[in-house]
Amino acid sequence: MPKTSRRNPVASALLEASLVDPGHPSTRRVRKIVTPSGRRPRGNFPSRKSSAPAKYESLIEKMVLRVLEVAPSVRKIVTQPQVFEFHDARGKRRYTPDVAVKTDLLDFFIEVKDDSFSSDPKTVRKMRGAAEHLRHEGLTLVFVLRSDVQQNGLQDDLEILFRNRPIRGRFRDDTDTTMWDPEKGTCPPPEIQQRWDNAKRACDELLHRVMRRDPDDLLPVVSNN
């Protein structure tokens, strides 16, 4: 089971007013991932759990953001939160988690990957180094795979819900994001309400499963040659 840190002050700082982590004083800015060029799907995600626009640069990341948005245990998210710098056998490395997540019990980072990532030795070496560095700092890195978020037709249900859910209003810290329409208090038709309740439960269960998974189980040992 991955090591978790209850109310870790470093991760909490990332999720409050400032995204600068005083324990990791890298001055390198995270790259902008929403740009007009490129062929990969990318864009802004209308999250009620993020004060700044939540961004994605792949369909898998968008799927993960849907899960985080619906899961009742998730209180706040920040995409591309910070650059971490560390050294491994090949020299200096830089790593930026895809999402920082705040829940009632703990804070953690998410790395979103396709299931095939473990077949690329270069990627595995970098991810192993990043996981070890964050673990050393008392932080938690959780891997979420495409297969995790596509099980049991979950994404089909989430797409329907996000097409029907009212557009978010101005961000507020005290918004009850578990509600269907926290800004205006409207209620959906019974069928959609049932889908919403089922999806909240399914998204929380998914997060609990991936958080219990040891990241090392997804990272085969590869040669440094």
Q: Which tens digit of pLDDT belongs to each residue from 59-69?
A: 999 999 999 99
Dist. CA 214–CA 203, nearest whole Å = 19
Quote the pLDDT of residue 18.
Answer: 33
With b meaning 16 or more CB within 10 Å and e meaning fewer, what string describes 23-55? ebeeeeebeebeeeeeeeebeebebbbbbeebb
Quote the pLDDT of residue 87.
Answer: 85
**96, part of any domain:** yes
Contacts of 21 (CB under 8 A, 6+ apart): 10, 13, 14, 82
**45, part of any domain:** yes
Give the largest CA-CA distance in the chain.
59
Domain boundaries, position 63 = 9-218
CB–CB of 47/77 below 8 Å? Answer: yes
**pLDDT tens digits along 192-209:** 999 999 999 999 999 999
Name the nearest CA neighbour of 100 among 38, 21, 158. 21
For residues 52-74, give the mean pLDDT. Answer: 96
**223, part of any domain:** no
CB–CB of 102/182 below 8 Å? Answer: no
Angle 203-131-29 from CA coordinates, rounded to 5°: 90
Band (38; pLDDT cuts 50, 70, 90): low
**2, part of any domain:** no
Alpha helices, DSSP H only, in the chain? Answer: 9-14, 59-70, 121-136, 146-149, 154-164, 190-212
**125, part of any domain:** yes
CB atoms within 10 A of CB 206: 21
For residue 141, list its beta bridge partners. Answer: 109
Quote the pLDDT of residue 222.
Answer: 72
**157, part of any domain:** yes
Asked if pLDDT for residue 113 goes beyond 60, the answer is yes
Q: Which residue has the higher pLDDT, 42 or 67?
A: 67
CA distances from 31 to 22, 52, 55, 72, 97 (A): 20, 15, 11, 29, 12
Asked if pLDDT for residue 191 goes beyond 80, the answer is yes
- Give the number of domains in the chain: 1
**158, part of any domain:** yes
Q: How far is CA 208 from its chain centroid?
A: 13
Band (104; pLDDT cuts 50, 70, 90): confident
**1, part of any domain:** no
Q: What is the pTM of this model?
A: 0.84
